[in-house]
A and B are shown apart, each in its own frame.
Chain A
């Protein structure tokens, strides 16, 4: 069943409309790619779904309950416990080490520092960057930073991961490595993924592709009967 639903979302920035009536369902464990040209409203849709932005009209329903009308604190808590957020770059806190960055959502939720560090280290290990635990983002390459950011977005075992061009700043091979690990771990945890990208080859990792154009769904579904990449769907 769909655990995350967007109904007729509308959102503008000043006088510029970004979304004009977008409806989208995301099932449990499903990986949905949202594609489309620059400025089509992909990121805005993702921000609305993740409860970062409030839509001007329409509703976002998370497991049967309205999300967009909840107060900021409640949405923040949801982002910390049920959602993971991953951007193209720049989401790591520059002043904290890799391990602290990955442990951040746990610390915010009240986990003790030692336990949070243990968990963070195991996640860094999974992304092959365990040796960077005590390095700050400024001393890492873009790929290493993005691995840490991806580890952080999955550390709480979220039900949905929102990824906005997660490989956009990386070269093909590094991007592919990050994405492959992300998809594999998401499938293991049965985490749904909303993957915003303008790259066909990145969208190909999803179960389903939704194309936006000028703030509206141009093309939905494209559900192809393709054997899944490991794990169940």
Chain B
């Protein structure tokens, strides 16, 4: 196939396709921005140690996360993690108008296009959209670092606008993301490509998803719990550190993956229960949908659940820090000092909370796309139901049932997994025994080295140990927020139900 023909066929599409391409570009731009930010943080040079800067801080920044070399790795990692919900959003957008596109590609296959040609077409569409997105992201990044380069009165910068990552690294992001997106598209199209008959004749769906996602969660958490003490007890270059790191990373990933895929089972099971006990058309319709495509929910909720799991973990971490802070206060009070632990960590966790909020919002956007896509893709069926006299309110209720029913247990599961992971990761709060010298006299006497000695006493604080509380309040807030996001997206999605149930839809092909 000649390039011009390839391009023409790749860009043939309806308005839905255009929207998909635009959303793909936007997601790609967001992901690229996150990657650029991470790269910039990593590009901050660490100054050589000098007499007045033994810790090699980069004093030009006002933010500790950027100033301290030890924290920059984590900061960059967190920024990269922000790409996860963005990529999930991109995945959601890729489903938009997918049935129409699948039909188009199947028609091409029928006309004699090889699987390779069709894959190339689809990859080209996604790739070009992504490349457009990453280029826009690059432009935004370059403009943004000029605009935000505003040193404060102390000459310090809020953001690392004074460094530029290596050009090669930037280029790798600009080109790499579209490549990855193209490959992901190729993967997603497997089924369309295997048969030119497309969706017109699909073998009967195999049995519903099994509860093996539960196994994934258990194994993941177990690996996490196993890995962590090893990492704590060994020195940094101990022989098992690599293995422990692997166990923790793989375990965490497996647990989150289990939570997300578990939604398939949850959808199927709630569908089955609903079908058995429901007595009204709306829940029955919802039950049928849940059972016939249990993975739809899993796909739609994936980003949200990942964000909730992550947020629950952060809540657990906060609870841990709060407990440590409390212990420190106890110890200090014995010593007569009113002070807590280093507030830096609690401040940092607030940043993490902010990131989780952003992630939930992005995930809700993805969910909205999924809900609208679900309604629009099934508009013929809805229009047919409306034409035969099914009230729109019944359809609306069935959509609400369909979204909320599996969401509740799935969010509870995500909260539990996140809290358990955090508990396993950070363990109990401990503070070893400490000795503090306290000067009981006035400031003047204490300041004088000669007189200080006689007023000073050494207080011994015993080791303290406490089990962090389960942060129920925060978990409830997080779960409630996620559920509210689900409800809000469904309500917005219902706005699309009216035009989609117009009986004229029955005429459209």
CB distance from A150 to the nearest CB of B (A): 13
Please name all residues of chain B whose beta carbon is closer than 8 Å to the beta carbon of A195 when the two chains form the complex.
none
Report if A208 contacts B (CB, 8 A).
no
Contact A14 B203 (CB under 8 A): yes
In the complex, what's the smallest C-beta–C-beta distance from A79 to chain B, in angstroms?
A: 4
A72 to B196, CA, bound (A): 10
A3 within 8 A of B: no
Chain B residues whose C-beta falls within 8 Å of the C-beta of A72 in the assembled complex: 114-115, 194
**Among residues 193 to 244 in chain B, which have CB atoms less than 8 Å away from a CB atom of chain A?**
194-197, 201, 203-204
The answer to the question of B147 belonging to the interface, with a C-beta cut-off of 8 Å to chain A, is: no
Task: Note all chain A residues with C-beta closer than 8 A to B116.
Answer: 73
With a cutoff of 8 Å between Cβ atoms, the chain B residues found around residue A107 in the complex are 1-2, 5, 8-9
Interface contact A81-B509, CB-CB below 8 Å: no
A164-175 Cβ-contact flags toward B at 8 Å (1 or 0):
000000000000
Q: Which of B103-111, B253-261, B282-290, B355-363 contacts A (4 or more CB under 8 A)?
A: B103-111
Kindly supply a per-residue 1/0 record for chain A positions 63-81, scoring 1 wherever the CB is within 8 Å of any chain B CB and 0 otherwise.
0000000001100110111
**Shortest beta-carbon contacts, A-B, top 3:** A80-B112, A76-B114, A107-B5
**B112–A94 touching, CB < 8 Å:** no
B393 interface contact, C-beta 8 A: no
Check B110–A91 contact: CB distance below 8 A.
yes
Does A95 touch B at the CB level, under 8 Å?
Answer: yes
Indicate the size class of the contact surface on chain A.
Answer: 35 or more
The CA-CA distance from A92 to B111 in the complex, in Å, is 9
Quote the shortest CB–CB distance from A120 to chain B (angstroms).
12
**B508 at the A interface (CB under 8 A):** yes
- Shortest Cβ gap from A87 to chain B (Å): 8
Q: Count chain B residues whose beta carbon lies closer than 8 angstroms to a beta carbon of A.
A: 33
Contact with B along A99-120 (1 / 0, CB 8 A): 0100011011111110010000
* B13 close to A (CB within 8 Å): yes
Tell me, yes or no, whether B58 is within 8 Å of chain A by CB: no
- Closest Cβ neighbor of A16 among chain B residues: B204
Give the Cβ gap from B14 to chain A, nearest Cβ, in Å. Answer: 6
Question: Is there an interface contact between B104 and A105, defined as CB atoms closer than 8 Å?
Answer: no
Q: Is B12 an interface residue (CB 8 A)?
A: yes
Q: Does A231 contact B (CB under 8 A)?
A: no
A108–B197 Cα gap in the complex (Å)? 18
Cβ of A93: which chain B residues have Cβ within 8 Å of it?
12, 104, 107-108, 111
Known: A110-B2, A113-B2. A76 touches B509 (CB 8 A): no
Q: State the CA gap A80–B195 with chains docked (Å).
A: 15
Given A91-B111, A108-B117, A109-B1, 11 more contacts at CB 8 Å?
A53-B195, A76-B115, A80-B113, A83-B112, A90-B107, A92-B107, A94-B14, A95-B14, A96-B9, A137-B509, A156-B112
Q: How far is the CB of A202 from chain B (nearest CB, A)?
A: 21
Q: Is residue A185 contacting chain B, with contact meaning CB distance below 8 A?
A: no
Q: Report how far A111 CA is from B112 CA in the complex, Å.
A: 14
| Residues of A close to B114: CB separation below 8 A | 72-73, 76-77
Can you spell out 7 A-B residue pairs with CB atoms less than 8 angstroms apart? A73-B116, A77-B114, A80-B112, A100-B8, A107-B5, A108-B112, A113-B5
Verify A76–B4 contact, CB threshold 8 A. no
> Given A52-B196, A76-B114, A94-B509: A108 and B108 within 8 A (CB)?
yes
Residues from 1 to 56 in A contacting B, C-beta threshold 8 Å: 13-14, 47, 52-53
Q: Does A147 contact B (CB under 8 A)?
A: no
Q: Are B1 and A108 in contact (CB under 8 A)?
A: yes
**How distant is the Cα of A111 from the Cα of B117 in the complex, in angstroms?**
15
A52/B197 contact (C-beta < 8 A), A108-B111, A113-B4, A113-B5 known: yes
Interface flags, A189-219, vs B, CB<8A=1, else 0? 0000000000000000000000000000000
Report A114-135 residues with CB < 8 Å from chain B CB.
116
For B104, list chain A residues within 8 Å (CB): 93-95
- Return the chain A residue nearest B113 by Cβ: A108
| Beta-carbon nearest neighbor of B104 in chain A | A93
B196 to chain A, nearest CB (A): 5
Q: Say yes or no: B203 contacts A13, CB within 8 Å.
A: yes
Closest chain B residue to A112 by CB distance? Answer: B2
Asked whether B12 lies within 8 Å of A95 as measured between CB atoms, the reply is yes
Which chain A residue lies CB-closest to B116? A73
Contact partner of B111 (CB less than 8 A), chosen from A13, A105, A137, A138, is A105
Cα-based distance from A175 to B201 in the complex (angstroms): 25
Chain A residues with Cβ under 8 A from B9's Cβ? 96, 107
